[in-house]
Amino acid sequence: MRLFWKLYLTYLLTVALCAVAVGWFAISSAGTLYHNQAEQDLLSRAQLIEQQIGGLIGIVKLDQLQTDVHNLGWSSGTRITVIAGPGLSGYVEGKVLADSEVPASTLENHAGRPEVATALLGGVGKAIRNSATLKEDMLYVALPVSGSDGTVIGVIRTALPLTMVNHSLNSLLRRIVLAAVILAVLVAAVGLIVSRRIARHMNDIKRGAERFAAGDFSHEVHVSSSDDIGSVAASLNRMGRQLDDTIKAITQQRNEREAILSGMVEGVVAVDDAERLITINRAAAALLGVTQDQAEGRAIQQVVRNPELQQFVVAALAADTPIEGDLTFHVGADSRSIQAHGSRLIGADGAGLGAVVVLNDITRLRRFETVRRDFVANVSHEIKTPVTSIKGFAETLLDGALDDRADAERFLRIIAGQADRLSAIVEDLLALSVLEREPGSDGGIVMERGSVCDVLQVAAEVCQPKAEARSITLVPSCPAEVFLDINPPLLEQAVVNLIDNAIKYSPEGSSVEIGAEQDGDTVVISVIDHGIGIAREHLPRLFERFYRVDKARSRDMGGTGLGLAIVKHVAASHGGSVAVESTLGVGSTFRIVLPA
């Protein structure tokens, strides 16, 4: 509702309530006055009538008394009723002896009427009620008549219809209502002018405040009034100028802070003393897996379900000096290593405002460190074995085994075999170093358009002698020519590694199936054997460097532990992936999936 209508309707309602209250009071007072006057008038008439006919009660005949009462009632314009009292012998108390309006014989006993009952007890009775005889509201006054012995021998009751009183009251009511309406109209007109003026000024102030709220602080509220409203407008203008300066400064500071926080690779989380998030930058939101808008203003326990971080925040809030620590976050099946630095926030007055925590994701660094350590340990272990063997047999030869030609030749063959194994490990490591370079870079992998079927055929021919030595049949299958951007030698090496493994771990007389087919947007190269199979727990780590399912058997067969790692890197260098399925005692299926 508009301000004008609020003011004006409130003003009108107040005027109306005042007019109604004053009118009601005036009418109520006038009604009381009129009724009191009527009662007093009836009482005076009853006293006069008592002086005239009071001595006739019980002396004259009822017919004569009826005639006298009728004449008095007609001459005074009053209904008069004479009723027998308890001291009148020969008559029942309350019996109507005479009435100025109707024959007394037609009226019932009046002892039960309130005003009559009061008079029969010696008091002056008064009542207002509807007359069963005249069918209209009447005002009654009953006066006791005492005998010579002081007993009540009768009651003289006078009555007037309330029509005359109500007529007078209605006339007064019309005059009061007319005066109230005229006064209300005049006051409403004055209120209309005042309300319009106030509403106009307040609307100007409202529009100014709305423009301030919208950020337009160049606007000024113009109010010509010099009263309190004008002072409010002037104060609002001053406030607008001050807000403009303050918001510009705050906005600049906020933009600078947001730019700094958004540009940081580290996650930054700021909390207050109640552990509610004050600020969280984009890096921290991504690290914690939350959104900035939903996180700010909420408790850290509600946003991040990580006990280590919660405890670190509590420690940062309680510490007087900066603290640091390592945290672990679990996101799904993965875990992240986080390095956290926390510091207490102190205000200009020295009071604590909360704490800031800086989070660095060092997961990749820790993973690289682990891979490096494992790689160094594995390489050292793999190289140490043939080196130890070469050194041992060389020392044996130097100690005199050269004199025994048969032993010397056997030791030299072992030394040559171990040297070949060292050479194979070095060659595989060099191949991996080449595969880890970016495709097309200097010294990196160069792609060309080639036939996948030709690669499979060449790989099968390379492995054919080993297969024939163990009576294993190679079954290449390539239903249609498939051409891709590939590096034929590398892809051939990967397929050779898979076929070589299949031959090693397949029983004599079995077969190895080599195939390639296009499946939608991919080309799948598969090598299937019917050998001993691989346990399920080894499958996830099968393509790791130097990972062996059966270490002793793998080394006895001349494996370096890098063959499947090379297959994985060859597939990755072609933008593809590798997969394996295996069942113990049934066989294994290795796949290279390349994009078509």
Q: Note the pLDDT of residue 535.
A: 85
pLDDT reported for residue 336: 79
CA-closest candidate to residue 277, choices 239, 304, 256? 304
Instruction: Supply 92's token pair.
Output: 């029942």
**Residue 208 is assigned to a structural domain of this protein:** no
pLDDT of 23 above 60: yes
pLDDT at site 441? 44
Do 161 and 226 lie in one domain? The reply is: no
Q: What is the CATH number of the domain that holds 390?
A: 1.10.287.130
Q: What's the confidence (pLDDT) of residue 528?
A: 92
Per residue in 57-70, pLDDT (tens digit) is 878 888 888 888 88
**Minimum mean pLDDT among 4-8, 18-22, 521-525: which range?**
4-8
Find the mean pLDDT for residues 566-576.
Answer: 84
Residues 591 and 500 in one domain: yes
The verdict on 346 and 222 lying in the same domain is no
Nearest C-alpha neighbor of 120 from the set 88, 148, 89, 90:
88
CATH of the domain at 285: 3.30.450.20
pLDDT of residue 443: 47
Average pLDDT over residues 365-388: 70
For residue 561, the model assigns a pLDDT of: 66
Establish if 4 belongs to a structural domain: no
Beta strand 587-595 pairing with 577-583: antiparallel
Task: Decide which of 342, 360, 378 is a domain's last residue.
Answer: 360
pLDDT for position 378 = 64
Same domain, 462 and 589: yes
Residue ending a domain, among 340, 360, 380, is 360
Q: Could you read off the pLDDT of 116-166 as tens digits, one per residue?
A: 899 888 898 988 887 777 677 788 999 998 887 888 889 999 988 877 677
Provide mean pLDDT across the span 333-351.
81
Distance CA 545, CA 556 (A): 18
What local confidence, expressed as pLDDT, does residue 442 receive? Answer: 44
Same domain, 488 and 413: no
316 within domain boundaries: yes
Q: Angle at which helices 452-469 and 488-504 pack, to 10 degrees?
A: 30
Give the DSSP per-residue string, 410-421. Answer: HHHHHHHHHHHH
pLDDT tens digits, 380-417:
666 676 777 778 878 877 777 777 777 778 778 777 87
pLDDT tens digits, one per residue of 522-569: 889 999 998 888 888 888 878 776 676 665 444 455 455 677 887 888
Residues 504, 568, single domain; the answer is yes
Model pLDDT for residues 232-277, shown as the tens digit of each residue: 777 777 777 787 788 888 878 877 777 777 767 788 888 888 888 8
Between 190 and 592, name the one with better pLDDT: 592
Q: Which two tokens stand for residue 111?
A: 């002892």
* Domain that includes residue 91, residue range: 36-167
The CATH number that applies at residue 580 is 3.30.565.10
Looking at residue 365, what is its pLDDT?
Answer: 82
Label residue 400 left, alpha or beta by phi (over 0 means left) and psi (-120 to 50 means alpha). left
Question: Which of helix, strand or coil describes residue 55?
Answer: helix
pLDDT at 354: 87
Q: How far apart are alpha carbons 72 and 50 in whole angstroms?
A: 11
Q: Is residue 400 part of a domain?
A: yes
Match 């007359």 to its residue by tokens. Answer: 131
Query: Residue 208: pLDDT above 80?
Result: no
- Judgement on whether residues 335 and 418 belong to the same structural domain of the protein: no
CB 153 within 8 A of CB 147: yes
Extract the tokens encoding 229: 């409203």
**pTM for the predicted model, two decimal places:** 0.40
- Mean pLDDT on 354-369: 83
What span, in angstroms and rounded, lies between the C-alpha atoms of 122 and 145?
A: 8
Q: Rounded to the nearest 5°, which phi and psi values hold at 473? A: -95, 130
Q: Is there a domain that residue 205 lies in?
A: no
Question: Could you report the per-residue pLDDT of 424-479, keeping only the tens digit for each?
Answer: 666 666 666 666 655 444 445 678 888 888 888 888 888 888 888 889 998 888 87
The pLDDT value recorded for residue 440 is: 45
Average pLDDT of the segment spanning 344-351: 80
Judgement on whether residues 502 and 588 belong to the same structural domain of the protein: yes
Instruction: State the chain's mean pLDDT as an integer.
Output: 79
Both 461 and 568 in one domain: the answer is yes
Same domain, 240 and 273: no
| Residue at 76 is within a domain | yes
274 shares a domain with 256: no
Question: Looking at residues 100-125, what average pLDDT do you find?
Answer: 88
Confidence at residue 381, expressed as pLDDT on a 0 to 100 scale: 60
In a domain, 173, yes or no: no
In a domain, 192, yes or no: no
pLDDT of residue 396: 79
Per residue in 121-156, is it b (16+ CB within 10 Å) or e — as a string? eeeebbbbeeeeeeeeebbbbbbbbebeeeebbbbb
In terms of pLDDT, which residue wins out, 8 or 88?
88
Q: Do residues 226 and 124 share a domain?
A: no
Total structural domains within the chain: 5
**Cα–Cα distance between 211 and 113 in angstroms, integer?**
78
Q: Report how far residue 566's alpha carbon sits from residue 150's, in angstroms, rounded to the nearest whole number.
A: 142
Cβ atoms of 435 and 445 closer than 8 Å:
yes
Q: Residue 314 class from Cβ within 10 Å (0-12 exposed, 13-18 middle, 19+ buried)?
A: middle
In angstroms, the CA 119 to CA 283 distance is 102
Residue 361 pLDDT exceeds 80: yes
* Of 487, 485, 499, residue with least CA distance to 457: 499
- By CB atoms closer than 10 A (0-12, 13-18, 19+), residue 181 is exposed
